Chain A
C-alpha cells in the first residue's frame, strides 16, 4: 500500500502567505519562508506554493520565494501561479522546485502540458484545476483563483490532461476552499474512480477526521492542506497520528 502524502499548501500574495475562503476574502497568516520551514520540520511530505496573483501580474516574486526555500527545505516542492511557458518551467526547476503546477496557461494552450511533459518529464508537470460545482455531478474548470470560467468540464479536462502527459492533478474545490467544512467528496470520488495519475485534493479540510474521511471514502492518497495548519487546528504530526490509528500508512519518522 502506498503511503498517504500530506502536503502543506502555501498560497502566496506578495511577501505573505494568505488564506481565504472560496479563494477570496484573503487574510495574511505568515511569511512563506517561516511557514515552509515550520511545516518541513513538522513532517510535511511535500510543500506546495501557489502564487495567487502571479498570473495577473508577474512571477518574479514566486521565483524569489522558491530560491530562498530551496536553501533550507529538503523535501519535494511544487510551485504554481503564473507559469506560462517552457522557459518559466525551466526557471522554476533551476530555482530548486521539483514540480510546477499549471492552470490558466494550460486551459488556453493544452499543448503546453504535452510539450512540458516531453521536455522535463511527466513527473514534474502538475495540472492545477479549480473546480466549481455547476449542478448535479457537474463541475466546471475555473482559472485566476475562481474568477474566470472556462466552459471546460472538470472530468473531461482531467481525461484530456492525462492523455497530454500530465504527471499529477491538483484539484482544488472552490466551493469548499477555506470553509473548513470538509472536502467535496462527490467531486473527488467521481475523479478517483477513473484517474490513472495521482490526484492531489485540496480545499475544505477542517479537521484530522475530514482528511481521514476523504482518504477512506474516495480512495485518494494525496491531500493538500492549508487552513487547518495555518490556524493551528491540527498539526501535521496530529494528522498523521490520526491516520495511523485508522491503519493508513504515512511517513512516520523524518
Chain B
C-alpha cells in the first residue's frame, strides 16, 4: 500500500493516459517549486492532492487511454470530493460532455458542453486563416453584459494576468460550454470567439498550453496552486 499511496505527498499528480510529452508540464510545476508525480493507476488518482490532465492528440484516443487505465470513475469521484483539477488543451476538452472529433465521443462530462471543430479555411475565407490554430493569441474577458469587467478575473486562475496577453495554442477543435457562466476567458480566431479558459467549481481548464506560454503560463500554473492551497 505504501507504493500506491506514494503520490499523496506530491503537490500535483499529472495523469498519463498514453501521451508522449509530459516533460514540459512537469518541468513547469518544478519551476514554481512544486513537487509532481506522473500517475496512471486508479489508486494513484484517488490519493492525489490535485490532478493535472494534460493533452495532445485526438479526443477519442484520449478518452480511450483514460478508459483503458480505469481512470474515468476515479477522476469523477475525486472531482465530487472537491479535489482541484486542471485540464490542458485536449485535457480541457475531455472535461466536457462530448466531442465531434472524428465521430461523436463521450467526454468526462464534468462540465456540460460540446467540443466542435473550427470552420474550414474555405468557409472562413480570411487571409492567413489555417487550421489547426497554432501560435500565440490573446486572452479576453468574455462579454456577458452583467459582470463587472474589472473584477471578473479576481480570485481565478487569471487573477494576475493582463487582458490581451498572448498565450500559446495548438488545436483544431474548441469547447462550447452549455453554461456561459463557466467561461472565464475567450480568444478569437478566424472570426470565431471560443472558450479559452473554463471553470466550474474545483475544475478548470485551458485550451492553450500554459507550459508553453512563457512566463504568463507559469504565472497561471502558480495561481492554480495558490488558489487551491497546494
Chain A residues in the interface with B (C-beta under 8 A): 1-3, 5, 40, 45, 67, 70-72, 74-76, 90, 93-98, 120-124, 167, 196-198, 219, 221, 251-254
Contacts and interface: CB of A to CB of B under 8 A. Distances in A.
Given A123-B134, A253-B162, A1 B170 contact: no
Residue in B129, B136, B166 with the greatest tally of chain A CB atoms within 10 Å: B136
A216 B125 CA distance: 20
Contacts of B27: 70-72, 74, 96
Contacts of A253: 162, 165-166, 216
B222 interface: no
B166 A251 contact: yes
Contact of B211 (A74, A93, A121, A124): A74
Nearest to A5: B135
A122 B23 CA distance: 20
A243 to B, nearest CB: 14
Interface in B104-155: 121, 127-130, 132, 134-137
Nearest to B19: A93
Contacts of B209: 76
Q: Is the interface of A mostly helix, strand, loop or mixed?
A: loop
B135 A72 contact: no
10 contacts: A1-B127, A74-B31, A75-B168, A93-B20, A95-B23, A96-B23, A98-B212, A167-B134, A196-B121, A253-B162
B128 A1 contact: yes
B130 A198 contact: yes
Contacts of B214: 40, 74-75, 254
A224 B148 CA distance: 42
Given A2-B135, A121-B58, A254-B166, 20 more contacts: A5-B135, A70-B24, A72-B27, A74-B24, A74-B211, A74-B217, A75-B212, A75-B214, A76-B168, A93-B21, A121-B56, A122-B132, A123-B132, A167-B132, A167-B134, A196-B121, A197-B130, A253-B162, A253-B166, A254-B216
B213 interface: yes
Contact of A70 (B23, B58, B121, B218): B23
A74 B170 contact: no
